[in-house]
Amino acid sequence: MKTEFDGTPDTLWREYSDGTYYNESIGLYETVRKNENFFIGNQWEGVNAPDLEKPVLNVLKRCVSYFLAMLSSDAVAVNIEAFDDNSAARLASGILSSEIGRVFERANMREKLRDMLRNCCVDGDGCIYLYMDSEAGTGQEMKGEIRADVLENTKVLFGNPYVHDVQSQPYIIVVQRMLLSDAMRLAKDAGVDPDAIRPDEESGRYANEEFDR
């Protein structure tokens, strides 16, 4: 899979449109919307019966919450062991294990893993996006920190949705909204005229807000 985008904005928009079209063709957005409503107890949406009592016994949320508590009760850790049994290898393995543990702690991975499992239960998929925040302070001369974000399945578009192996994907698009000032700063860092960045039109600004949980 390519690690850098080498196309044009038109190419990216076409790839984005292809991804959303596929999601719509399999009913993903509507399925997620219904599943979320059932999970939060909004199970009578669309029923035109103002004089009818609408009881809700939300068994789904209780079951999901119980299984989430069972699955996430134990902390997740990584332990690295070297093939070569010598002091240098053991020292390097210990340093790596300790550093990964530090990243897990600072990225709040335990809570994010729970949120990801919740999305798996309710929406059918879960994803955690790991990336390097090059602007994060570390208290040292060198900056940079590994971050982790929980992504909904409606926010991840695969270049080839018929391939299960993520590493074999031609590209992956992560859909997100950001402030105009942040988008302009990123454009400037990438060598693009920041004044060419425009905010969303009013008609499309909240087009996907129902999925912004």
Q: What is the pLDDT of residues 15-66, one digit of tens each?
A: 999 999 999 999 999 999 999 998 998 888 888 888 888 888 888 899 999 9
Yes or no: say if 16 and 173 are a contact pair by the CB < 8 Å rule: yes
Phi, psi of 148, deg, nearest 5: -140, 130
Q: In this predicted structure, what is the pLDDT of residue 33? A: 93
Supply the pTM of this predicted model: 0.76
- Report how far residue 130's alpha carbon sits from residue 107's, in angstroms, rounded to the nearest whole number: 9
Q: For residues 145 and 133, give the distance between their C-alpha atoms in angstroms, rounded to a whole number.
A: 5
Between 37 and 210, the more confident residue is: 37
DSSP bridge partners of 146: 132
Cα–Cα distance for residue pair 166/107, rounded to 1 Å: 23
More confident residue, 100 or 8: 100
Query: How confident is the model at residue 143, as a pLDDT?
Result: 79
Alpha-carbon gap, residue 158 to 113, rounded angstroms: 21
Q: How many CB atoms lie within 10 A of CB 22?
A: 15
Region 198-209: mean pLDDT is: 59
- Residue 203 and residue 180: Cα distance in Å, rounded? 17
Q: What is the pLDDT of residue 133?
A: 83
pLDDT of 2: 61
Bridge partners, residue 42, by sequence: none
Sign of the CA dihedral running 29, 30, 31, 37: positive
- Owner of token pair 């031609």: 170
pLDDT at 20: 94
Given this model, what pLDDT does residue 4 score? Answer: 66
- Give kind and range of the element (H or E) at residue 156: strand 156-158
Other Cβ atoms closer than 10 A to 143: 12
Of 210 and 60, the one with more pLDDT: 60
pLDDT at 3 over 70: no
DSSP assignment string, 35-100: HHHHHHT---TT---TTS------HHHHHHHHHHHHHTSSPP------SS-SHHHHHHHHHHHHHH
pLDDT at 206: 46
Q: How confident is the model at residue 153 (pLDDT cuts 50, 70, 90)?
A: very high
More confident residue, 139 or 21: 21
